[in-house]
Amino acid sequence: MDLFQKCYDYTIVKEAIEAGIYPYFHALESGQDIVVTMEGRRTIMIGSNNYLGLTSDPRVIEAAIKATEKYGTGCSGSRFLNGTLDIHLELERQLAEFLHKEACMTLSTGFQSNLGIISAIAGRNDIIICDKENHASIYDACRLSFATMVRFKHNDMEDLEKVLSEQPDNKGKLIVTDGVFSMGGEICNLPKIVELAKKYGARVMVDDAHGLGVLGKNGRGTAEHFGLEDEVDIIMGTFSKSLASLGGYIAAKEEVITYVKHTSRPFIFSASIPPANVAAALTALNILKQEPERVHNLNSIADYMRELMRKNNIPLKESQTPIIPVMTYEDMRTFVICKELLNEGVYVNPCISPAVPQGQSMIRTSYTATHTRELMDEAIEKFVKVFSKY
């Protein structure tokens, strides 16, 4: 059998394009902002993870330019060898301090950060207890680790305790959960997770990719939101969302970070984050520290849009974060609605199976601290116009 036969048989993309409803790879012709130019059209962007609105901030842009002028366009090597710059170390120092952890290390992408920490800290004799709706990078990391992975029902603490009670005492145990779940926007039940971890002798890791800059009075994320910063063993996050750059990090005790730095294959065998991205993330972090009101603005605008959707009978799925899912249920219906919204000048993200359960397709909308109520009023008019047909 020809290895490529599966490629020739994969016709769904061509069929969707011919039907005019293919929803992916729409090209932006402007910077990532609250209003963008997409394929020649003015478009309200409510499908971005630019939570704090910093991707277009002049301070962040200037920092990236200056870093490129000083250090060049790349690092030409792994952090383990020649690829460590002084600004890598400064970013790690400031992140550790901000997150109230002893140490921090950065990796080239958020996806790689989960691969890097989980595959290093968990091995064949360990058990990873994983929320069923955790990010795909966590699942891939579990496979790479060779540890036994056991899943518990999404945000179901009774099921988590059942799973924990079934594990042997002589195994290392790591509970891994998203802080803010990227599809539904729910917040994990961190207080109960911490309680159960103590009861059953497990460690806790929170993927806070969608929590940093979103939750907590100072934007430190899920642990700050619940007042549990001293109780979470490992915090992972990304720079590609609130911090307006590219890359990721893990923060933990110094001994843990030292161990991972010297044993993590994704870290050791990858080139380090380019200077422009490091400088952008560092500047964005400092803006977050200086302007924590951005976190309030972000959640305020999301609450405003959530209330508009309720008033106009848009079938939203309730959440407490700037991720607001709108239910469409069927895959094809999702594609059509996304296409019609884009035609009206609003960009949203389609989420279909297997990213969500079969029959639970949705439109993922997400908001930015610099969105205005006037833009939200304009966007809701487009939603009402499109959803009134269905």
Instruction: Tell me whether strands 361-366 and 323-329 are parallel, antiparallel or unpaired.
Output: antiparallel
Among the listed residues 210, 225, 339, 382, the single catalytic one is: 210
Exposed/middle/buried for 340, CB within 10 Å: 0-12, 13-18, 19+?
Answer: middle
The rounded distance, in Å, linking the Cα atoms of 133 and 1 is 36
Query: Roughly what angle, to the nearest 10 degrees, separates helices 136-145 and 110-121?
Result: 30
Spatial contact of 130 and 139, defined as CB atoms under 8 Å apart: yes
**Tokens 């993200």 -> residue:** 349
Among the listed residues 48, 182, 264, 319, the single catalytic one is: 182
**Tokens 């939203």 -> residue:** 316
Contacts of residue 254, defined as CB under 8 A and 6 or more positions apart, other chains included, come to 102, 103
Which strands make up the sheet holding 323-329, listed edge to edge? 323-329, 361-366, 349-351
The rounded distance, in Å, linking the Cα atoms of 288 and 97 is 14
Residue 225 is a catalytic residue = no
Among the listed residues 241, 339, 371, 382, the single catalytic one is: 241
Contacts of residue 128, defined as CB under 8 A and 6 or more positions apart, other chains included, come to 118, 122, 142, 145, 147, 148, 149, 150, 173, 174, 176
Residue 113 is a catalytic residue = no
CA neighbours within 13 Å on the CB side: how many for 124? 0
Residue 182 is a catalytic residue = yes
Of 314, 330, 331, which Cα lies nearest the Cα of 365?
Answer: 314
Residue numbers annotated as active site: 182, 210, 241
